[in-house]
Structure 1
């Protein structure tokens, strides 16, 4: 197949992906703003945010993973023109998202004592606990927002979540500025102020997307709630059968990144602060790939509903090529600007030098990380989640994390060794997931063409 067969899909891919990218970047920008403002308070507060968020990110991965089940089901129902089925998936998805938000809030509160047993600097743990308590509560509005977002994404209406997230960022910046430093009549709360700013912005985000979706004509029929059809066990079962493996996929990946935070903390406050800077920068470029991953889910799900399997395969591979090209640009940028980017966060020279070293490895794993998340998105569009979950576990925890543990010791490569494990795990994941999608998409085409060739009886 000619290259133009793939590149001609780039415009459509980007039209769907751009709002998702901006929305996801908005989530990361909340963390970036917190890091930039807190970094001015010193290395210990910055390390405390990193430690507190290590538990939050694990909880977030589980919640978002469950909500991701909504998108392919909505996309397939939309492709097949089945409004009733789509509405049922939407309503049950919102209930599931709200329930998961409450569950994750309670889970984070119960998990607080874990921070005292991770061999972290004591001053960092003491600062992290109150920050974690407040941010944990923000999981409730965030998860409900995520349910609405995944629903809109499934209908290829990705811009409304972007609006909500970007405006919420403005709210977060203002709240942070007032509460971290104690501007005007507001008290100086430092880390707790950053956490309250995040909480306020997430409640605002939820209100905004609910208000805008319910008023739009395209969504109006979906907002008709029926008590008779509100609770259907078979719909929850379908959502959970897709959502649970997806949550595990995200848990395995976020878990290894959380593991790097914990391993870096055992090396000291400065290595942990450097790790946080590099992770925050890498996560921003990763959100571009997440946008294309959602695009792959939507477009593959639509083609699955239409049973256009050759187009399904071609469109999916167009997203793989596009993310590879974009992440290659970011990789070059990281290498060229590795000495300057960390200075935006902190003026501690040791932290800056360590972060610059980590950005070299981050540049390399941009390619693998981008590819694996987009291929996962395409597999999610096929509603294939169980084997990819196993692949993620093997790649991150059988291959990647042991490398991080061995080479991340102080007598080995330290922080650089920790990140070599990330590179190994992400690369293994991308390769194995590619083989999986290639096999499934070819099989669908073969079965369809074989069925068409059979003579009618």
Structure 2
């Protein structure tokens, strides 16, 4: 990371950070994408089972990993303020905390998964596949959460290309093990959709191993001497991480869990409807990697500039990020509109699933504009370490406005399953509007504080 003085310099630095993040996010997401696509090739029940399993896992993972995302602005501000000696201690405390969170999730999941699945109106085979998928995935929880911390450290230094390389190296392995375990090739058992969970867990162990090796051997990471000294657990430092991370984690949880909640509510519809809904959500989420990556890049650059007390530069980066997100939203909407059926055919060969998916994808177009505004603003606010109000706004937008509206439309109008999607669109729009208002307030306050120093 370095100080910039012109729009051209900022654009070059920002794109140098955001493009590797985008490739990394797409690569990580492709693991879920591959799970869904390859499970769909195994059968509609496998696709539905993995859809239900993912709907239970994704909000838990994203919410708790969101807590660990707080490591990024913490380290970015340390570096901006030239307090590099504090970095390795913060990273190690994050690693310790990630392991504790992993064990907590593992234990809670062991006692609750059966209860949750049994309360859902699912076919027996779909329920079994969902459970087995989650069991396989659980073996990768610890390495996944540890990697979240290590990646935050790597990205906060501005070396987002390293995270990109790690992901690109591991993705082919995920595909290979999916092929072997889902379809029972080369002497491996045929596990169907459940095999995707085990394949992804194996990949998570490979990712964290590569990250640790790079941090221990490559410049500039080796200069911070992470893993060279195992500090004692600092509950006060955990408190600092959690104070910043919990609102981030809850905000991400409420944002992602609403999609999972809709999928679970759709268990009252047919297996074909569940499968088609999941396909549309899966592809829409793939496109969401663009504004999400811009959001993550903004957390880094805004955190760096705020740490150095350069608020005008922080505002310029925010405008740059939102501008790029809006441009890409238009492109994403066009892709969905013109290629509905070909997109659906990537996931399934079932004509009923393809037809219904094409209809759901039309609604996904309207997600793009709201995401292009809300996601980058959330990233900028995290760079300012402003997270509490964002959490409240997210809760209200998605769970007070979006989900109830969707439930009413789905159950009391002829819209049926499409009613949930209209509710999601309304919730996302409300979030975009309120977050914009919050960003303007935070920017004014930050500038006023610096002027008085």
The verdict on a shared fold, with TM-score over 0.5 as the criterion, is yes
Q: Of the candidates 148, 156, 172, which is equivalent to residue 150 of structure 2?
A: 148
Instruction: Write the distance in 1 (CA, Å) between the matches of 2:139 and 2:187.
Output: 25
Shift of 1:234: 2.4
Shift of 1:260: 1.4
In structure 2, relative to structure 1, the CA distance for the partners of 1:133 and 1:299 (3 Å cut) is same
Q: Any conservation in 1 of the 2:50–2:194 contact (CA below 8 Å)?
A: no
- Verify: 1:65 aligned to 2:72, yes or no: no
Shift of 1:24: 1.1
Instruction: Write the distance in 1 (CA, Å) between the matches of 2:355 and 2:412.
Output: 16
Instruction: Write the distance in 2 (CA, Å) between the matches of 1:228 and 1:289.
Output: 36
SS of 1:119's equivalent in the other structure is coil
TM-score between both structures, scaled by the size of structure 1: 0.94
Q: Any conservation in 2 of the 1:72–1:297 contact (CA below 8 Å)?
A: yes
Q: What aligned pairs does 1:202-217 form with structure 2 within 5 A after superposition?
A: 202-217=204-219
In structure 2, relative to structure 1, the CA distance for the partners of 1:227 and 1:28 (3 Å cut) is closer
Aligned twin of 1:388: 390
Aligned twin of 1:52: 53
Q: Any conservation in 1 of the 2:21–2:163 contact (CA below 8 Å)?
A: yes
Aligned twin of 2:292: 290
Q: Any conservation in 2 of the 1:267–1:410 contact (CA below 8 Å)?
A: no
Which deviations, in whole Å up to 9, do the C-alpha atoms of 1:386-420 show, x marking residues without a partner? Answer: 00000000000011001111112385312221111
Instruction: Write the distance in 1 (CA, Å) between the matches of 2:71 and 2:147.
Output: 13
Aligned twin of 1:88: 89
SS of 1:409's equivalent in the other structure is helix
Aligned twin of 1:420: 422
Aligned twin of 1:34: 35
Shift of 1:257: 0.6
The size of the alignment, in residue pairs, is 447
Shift of 1:264: 2.1
Instruction: Write the distance in 2 (CA, Å) between the matches of 1:159 and 1:61.
Output: 22
Shift of 1:320: 1.0
Q: Any conservation in 2 of the 1:88–1:235 contact (CA below 8 Å)?
A: no
Q: What aligned pairs does 1:314-393 form with structure 2 within 5 A after superposition?
A: 314-393=316-395
Which deviations, in whole Å up to 9, do the C-alpha atoms of 1:134-190 show, x marking residues without a partner? Answer: 112211110011110011111111122222222211101111111211222222221
SS of 1:188's equivalent in the other structure is coil
Aligned twin of 2:241: 239
SS of 1:400's equivalent in the other structure is helix
Instruction: Write the distance in 2 (CA, Å) between the matches of 1:394 and 1:225.
Output: 41
Shift of 1:365: 0.9
Shift of 1:350: 1.7
Q: Which stretch shows the higher mean deviation, 323-332 or 438-447?
A: 438-447
In structure 2, relative to structure 1, the CA distance for the partners of 1:304 and 1:119 (3 Å cut) is same
Q: Which stretch shows the higher mean deviation, 25-34 or 404-413?
A: 404-413
Instruction: Write the distance in 2 (CA, Å) between the matches of 1:119 and 1:188.
Output: 26
Instruction: Write the distance in 1 (CA, Å) between the matches of 2:26 and 2:90.
Output: 27
Q: Any conservation in 1 of the 2:92–2:231 contact (CA below 8 Å)?
A: no
Instruction: Write the distance in 1 (CA, Å) between the matches of 2:331 and 2:227.
Output: 46
Aligned twin of 1:121: 123
Unaligned 5+ residue runs, structure 2? 1-5
In structure 2, relative to structure 1, the CA distance for the partners of 1:447 and 1:185 (3 Å cut) is closer
Shift of 1:235: 1.5
Aligned twin of 1:455: none
Q: Any conservation in 1 of the 2:247–2:387 contact (CA below 8 Å)?
A: yes
- Verify: 1:77 aligned to 2:78, yes or no: yes
Q: Any conservation in 1 of the 2:92–2:230 contact (CA below 8 Å)?
A: no
SS of 2:220's equivalent in the other structure is helix
Instruction: Write the distance in 2 (CA, Å) between the matches of 1:344 and 1:131.
Output: 21
Q: Any conservation in 2 of the 1:358–1:415 contact (CA below 8 Å)?
A: no
Instruction: Write the distance in 1 (CA, Å) between the matches of 2:43 and 2:413.
Output: 27
Shift of 1:370: 2.9
Aligned twin of 2:3: none
Shift of 1:215: 0.7
Q: Any conservation in 2 of the 1:246–1:389 contact (CA below 8 Å)?
A: yes
Instruction: Write the distance in 1 (CA, Å) between the matches of 2:145 and 2:263.
Output: 24
Aligned twin of 2:309: 307
Shift of 1:375: 0.7
Q: Any conservation in 2 of the 1:77–1:305 contact (CA below 8 Å)?
A: yes
Q: Any conservation in 1 of the 2:298–2:376 contact (CA below 8 Å)?
A: yes
In structure 2, relative to structure 1, the CA distance for the partners of 1:221 and 1:8 (3 Å cut) is closer
Report the aligned-residue RMSD.
1.7
Instruction: Write the distance in 2 (CA, Å) between the matches of 1:381 and 1:299.
Output: 7
Q: Any conservation in 2 of the 1:364–1:423 contact (CA below 8 Å)?
A: yes
Q: Which stretch shows the higher mean deviation, 53-62 or 272-281?
A: 53-62
Shift of 1:6: 6.1
Q: Of the candidates 159, 174, 186, which is equivalent to residue 184 of structure 1?
A: 186
Q: Any conservation in 2 of the 1:38–1:46 contact (CA below 8 Å)?
A: yes
